[in-house]
Amino acid sequence: MHKVVLIEDIENADNKTLHCIFNEKIDEIDCLTPIKAELDVKSLGEYIQIKGHAVGTVLLECDLCLEKFEYKLDFDIDELYSKESLVDDYGNSDKEFEIKEGQFITDLNGENEIDIYDLLYQSVILNFPNKKVCGINCKGKDYLSQKDNADPRLEVFKNLQINPKM
């Protein structure tokens, strides 16, 4: 079930701020533990800011040996949403806004809610390491070079002969 926050609820809350707790697994990610996040959702006039922290453990596949390994997530969230469209139908913008380093503004395009589940899904994916390696001593090359671990789909290339043009 997707957890959503209604813009109207944010506007009607004390100090225009809602505190949200998320504690569930994300279906599209191999989560070993639920993703736990505490978020403050605050209205800043034309914008909605979501700040908080998330932790959890997921199962990733090592890029070297292809074995599964546990990866602990522990990251901050700082997202900004625009209530009104930032661009017109032609892609032009007449609004000025300051973006901090690493921050993006998501255009709600007139939506009246923010999907917290989707925000956390994207945040988790973006916090995966660029190179997923199970450990400093990974024997990936040794593992992949073993004959019984060869990908059977590549067998067709064993007898391939390339004749250079003369």
Task: Tell whether 37 is covered by a domain.
Answer: yes
Q: By C-alpha distance, which of 75, 91, 78 is closest to 42?
A: 78
Task: Tell whether 78 is covered by a domain.
Answer: yes
Domain count for the chain, please give it: 1
Task: Tell whether 165 is covered by a domain.
Answer: no
Task: Tell whether 145 is covered by a domain.
Answer: yes
Task: Tell whether 166 is covered by a domain.
Answer: no
Whole-model pTM: value is 0.72
Task: Tell whether 164 is covered by a domain.
Answer: no
DSSP structural state of residue 112: S
Q: Each residue's pLDDT tens digit in the chain (166 positions)?
A: 568 899 899 999 999 999 999 999 999 999 999 999 999 999 998 889 999 999 999 999 999 888 899 999 999 999 998 887 655 454 555 555 555 555 567 778 778 889 999 999 999 999 999 999 998 888 776 655 565 556 677 778 777 777 777 6
The number of residues making up the chain comes to: 166
